[in-house]
Amino acid sequence: MPAPITDRRAALEARHPVWRPRTLDGFLDDCAAEFGDRPLVVTDDRTLTYAEAVAWSDRLAGGLAALGVRPGDRVGLLMANHLEFVPLKFAVARAGAVAIPFNFLYRRDELAYVLRQSRCTVLVTMTGYGDLDHLALLDDVAPGWEQGPTAELPDLRAVVALPTVHPARPGVTTVEELGALGSPVAAGTAGTTPGDLGDILYTSGTTGAPKGVMVTHDGVLRTGYASALTRAFEDGRRILFSLPCYHMFGYVEGLVAAMFVGGAIVPRLAFSAADYVEGIERHRATEILCVPTMTVALLESPARAGRDLSSVFALLSGAAPAPVWLWEKVRAELGIAEVTTGYGMTECGGAMTMTLPEDPLERHATTVGRVKRAGVAGLPDRDGDLCAYTTCDPLTGEELPAGAEGELVSSGPTHMLGFWDKPEETAAALRGGRVFSGDLGRVRDDGYLEITGRSKELYKSGGELVMPKEIEELLTREPGISQAFAVGVPDDRWGEVGCVWIVPEPGATVDPDAVLALCREKLARFKVPRHVLVTTSGELPTTPTGKIQKFRLARRAAEVLGG
Over range 460-485, report the average pLDDT.
Answer: 87
CATH of the domain at 515: 3.30.300.30
Is 348 within 8 Å of 387 (Cβ atoms)?
Answer: yes
Residue 423 has pLDDT above 50, yes or no: yes
Answer for the pair 161, 174: CB distance below 8 angstroms, yes or no: yes
Q: How many domains does the chain have?
A: 3
Is residue 258 domain-resident? Answer: no
3-state secondary structure of 222: helix
Residue 10 has pLDDT above 50, yes or no: yes
CA-closest candidate to residue 553, choices 505, 486, 480: 486
- Does residue 489 share a domain with residue 445? no
- 57 within a domain of the structure (yes/no): yes
Alpha-carbon span 124 to 114, nearest angstrom: 14
* pLDDT tens sequence across 11-60: 999 999 999 999 999 999 999 999 999 999 999 999 999 999 999 999 99
Among 176, 193, 210, where does a domain finish? Answer: 193
Instruction: Report pLDDT digits (tens) over 237-256.
Output: 999 999 999 999 999 999 99
The secondary structure element, H or E, covering residue 106 is none
445 and 549 part of one domain: no
Which runs of E-coded beta strand occur in 166-209? Answer: 197-203
d(CA 14, CA 261): 12
Q: Give the pLDDT mean for 294-311.
A: 94
pLDDT given for residue 338 in this prediction: 98
Burial 374-385 (b: 16+ CB within 10 A, else e): bbebbbeeeebb
Tell me: pLDDT of 542 over 90: no
185 and 53 share a domain?
yes
Tell which of 162, 193, 224 closes a domain.
Answer: 193
Residues 76 and 180 reside in one and the same domain: yes
- Judge if 446 and 528 occupy the same domain: no
Residue 463 lies in a domain: yes
Residue 126 in any domain: the answer is: yes
Contact partners, residue 475, CB within 8 Å, separation at least 6: 481, 484, 500, 502, 515, 518, 519
* CATH number of domain containing 158: 3.40.50.980
The CB density around residue 129, as the number of other CB atoms within 10 Å, is 19
547: confidence class by pLDDT, cuts 50, 70, 90? low
pLDDT band for position 551 (cuts 50, 70, 90): confident
Q: Are residues 186 and 115 in the same domain?
A: yes
Q: Is 164 inside any structural domain?
A: yes
Give the single-character DSSP code of 391. E
87-103: pLDDT as tens digits: 999 999 999 999 999 99
Angle (CA) 422-426-427 rounded to 5° is: 120
C-alpha 233 chain-centroid distance: 21
Closest CA to 239 of 285, 280, 298, 295: 285
The DSSP code sequence of 523-559 is: S-GGGS-SEEEE--GGGS-B-TTS-B-HHHHHHHHHH
Same domain, 435 and 481: no
84 and 182, same domain (yes or no): yes
Decide if 212 is inside a domain: no
C-alpha to C-alpha distance for 344 and 235, rounded to whole angstroms: 26
Is the per-residue pLDDT at 439 higher than 90? Answer: no
340 falls within a domain:
no
H or E element in which residue 262 lies: none
469 and 438 in a common domain: no
Q: Are residues 399 and 493 in the same domain?
A: no
Domain boundary among 422, 454, 486: 454
Backbone angles phi, psi at 32, to 5 degrees: -65, -35
Residue 121 sits in the same domain as residue 172 = yes
* Residues 258-290 pLDDT 10s: 999 999 999 999 999 999 999 999 999 999 999
Of 406, 409, 396, 417, residue with least CA distance to 435: 409
Q: For residue 312, which of 330, 300, 296, 328 has the smallest C-alpha distance?
A: 330
Give the range of the structural domain holding residue 418, as residue numbers without chain letter: 377-454
* pLDDT at position 488 over 70: yes
pLDDT at 544 over 50: no
pLDDT at 204: 62
Same domain, 486 and 446: no
- pLDDT tens digits, 200-227: 999 864 335 789 999 999 999 999 999 9
Mean pLDDT, to the nearest integer, of 412-432? 96
Smallest CA-to-CA distance from 92 within 82, 102, 83, 101 is with 101
End-to-end CA distance of the chain: 47
Answer positive or negative: Cα dihedral of 163, 165, 169, 170.
Answer: positive
Specify if 268 maps to a domain: no
- Residue 72: what residue type? G
DSSP notation for 431-499:
ETTEEEEEEEEEE-TTSBEEEEEESSS-EEETTEEE-HHHHHHHHHTSTTEEEEEEEEEEETTTEEEEE
